[in-house]
Amino acid sequence: MIGSDLCKIIDQACRLVGVKDCNQCGKCCTNYGGGGLSASSAEIEWWEIHRPDIFSYVNDGEIWVSPATGKPLDRCPWLRKLPNRDKYICRIYHDRPDDCRHYPVRIEDMIRDDCEMLEHKDLANPRKAQRALDGLMVNSRPPVLS
């Protein structure tokens, strides 16, 4: 658990270089949820035991596959748009794949995906921005920069 002082410092650093909190725009899930994700065998085994509803969308190690047709889905089945808002939620947020948990990993990915955590005007120093992003994601994935 990060201490509150460290949280404040990371938050200030992120603001300085233009990396901000996720605003649930849903672009990453839309971009990757239909065939762009993978899951480890450990994740799949865990779903099989604890979340059979998620496991039902796994086929031969691939996600996400329609349980009804056995065909890959064009869109993630767990993505939901909030009524009357331009925001999205993940219905399996706490048990989502690590692929989703780790996003965004690199500043280049965010630029390509038009991720709204990024403020392009402040991208004069991508390395600094990557450090700030690594700080923001400290509880989700290992840092890109050591």
CB of 37 to ligand SF4, least distance (A): 6
Q: How many CB atoms lie within 10 A of CB 5?
A: 8
Cβ closer to ligand SF4: 102 or 127?
A: 102
Q: How many angstroms separate the CA atoms of 16 and 32, rounded?
A: 29
SS3 of 49-105: HHCHHHHCCEECCEECECCCCCCECCCCCCEEECCCCCCEEECCHHHCCHHHHCCCC
Segment near ligand SF4 (CB under 6 A); pick from 6-14, 41-49, 72-80, 132-140: 72-80
Q: Which of 17/28 has CB closer to ligand SF4?
A: 28
Tell me if 44 contacts ligand SF4 by CB under 6 A: no
18 binds ligand SF4 (CB under 6 A): no
Q: Report the SS3 class of residue 58.
A: strand
In whole angstroms, how close is the CB of 122 to ligand SF4 at the nearest point?
A: 15
Residues making contact with ligand SF4 (CB under 6 A): 22-29, 33, 76, 78-79, 90, 92, 96, 100, 103-104, 113, 115-117
